[in-house]
Amino acid sequence: MLLSDECLNLHVPRAQHGHTRLDWRRPHQALERVRHVAWTCSCRATVYELCEGGGQAFIRRTVQLDGTPEVRETSPCSIHEAGMIWTALLSGQAR
Ligand SMILES: [Zn+2]
């Protein structure tokens, strides 16, 4: 049974030992009209979004600090590859 105050949205679990370290870069403007395909819950300080655009995809990470949010993105790759990275992220196998 879930506790009544438990949030039911997507959350990224604790990273597993030996997880893949993703290459987080400063945001680039390469992809126009980015579509958000999936995202994790904003109840956490760090929010991840799976973004698609122009036949490519990447993961965006936003850390909600006290001041300006810190945004980092993985380099664009195929939608298939980004989907696998997203799955690894949500299972604690990549971070
Ligand atoms: Zn939540």
Tens of pLDDT, residue by residue over 67-77, are: 889 999 999 99
Q: Around ion ligand 1, which residues have CB less than 5 A away?
A: 7, 9, 41, 43
| Distance (Å) from CA 30 to ligand 1 centroid | 30
Q: DSSP assignment of 8-37, as one string?
A: -S--PPPPPTTPBPP--B------SS-EEE
Kindly give the distance from the C-alpha atom of residue 44 to the centroid of ligand 1, in angstroms, as a whole number: 6
Q: What pLDDT digit, counting tens, does each position of 22-51 carry?
A: 999 998 765 568 899 999 999 999 999 999
pLDDT value, residue 83: 97
Identify the CA nearest to 60 among candidates 30, 29, 39: 39
Q: How far is CA 13 from the centre of its chain?
A: 12
Q: What is the pLDDT, as a whole number, of residue 30?
A: 59
